[in-house]
Amino acid sequence: MDINKKWNTRRIVRLAFFMAINLVATFIKVPIGTSMMHLGTTTLFITAIILNPIDSAIACGGGMFLFDILGNFLQYAPFTLIIKGLMAFVVSLIVHKKSNGMNYIVNFFAYIIGGIISLVGYYFANAILLGNFISPISKIPGSILTTTVGIIIALPIGIQVKRSLKNTNSF
């Protein structure tokens, strides 16, 4: 894992591709009370096992940041950039240090840690935006559901996607 890669056309296109995938997947959402469940977390997990930590942070944080801007959640955009960027960075760092993203148990552990980062990050983001520490509690079920769905989908599919991309030398 070389996180000090040079910027070249291939890397920029790869980042743009994964940023777009994360953006589009986040638009696939279901309202849950005062929160929402979306598939962006699923693609974040898969992106994190494919790309190195820095590129994962850029692609996932950037894609979901763009979702907030385009999806009328502008107030969340700066928080999302940091929270989802950190989440992707940490998940990618864990899976690449332990198994290069090819071990279900390591991936599951990394996804749980990522979910905790998202839950805690958005709790505090909502506390800042809503002006209190009680109201954000109502958004916790949506966050847990999004992470759970992300894990259920990404765990079996992520390694297969990574293996397929590796076999084609595409990424």
Domain CATH code at residue 102: 1.10.1760.20
pLDDT of residue 95: 97
Q: Judge whether 89 lies within some domain.
A: yes
Q: Is the pLDDT of residue 1 over 90?
A: no
Domain coverage including residue 131? 9-168
Give the pLDDT mean for 30-55.
90
Number of domains comprising the chain = 1
Q: φ, ψ for residue 29 (rounded to 5)?
A: -135, 160
Residue 169 has pLDDT above 70, yes or no: no
* pLDDT tens string 105-158: 999 999 999 999 999 999 999 999 999 999 999 989 889 999 999 999 999 999
Q: What is the pTM of this model?
A: 0.93
**The pLDDT of residue 170:** 61
Beta bridge partners of 31: 36
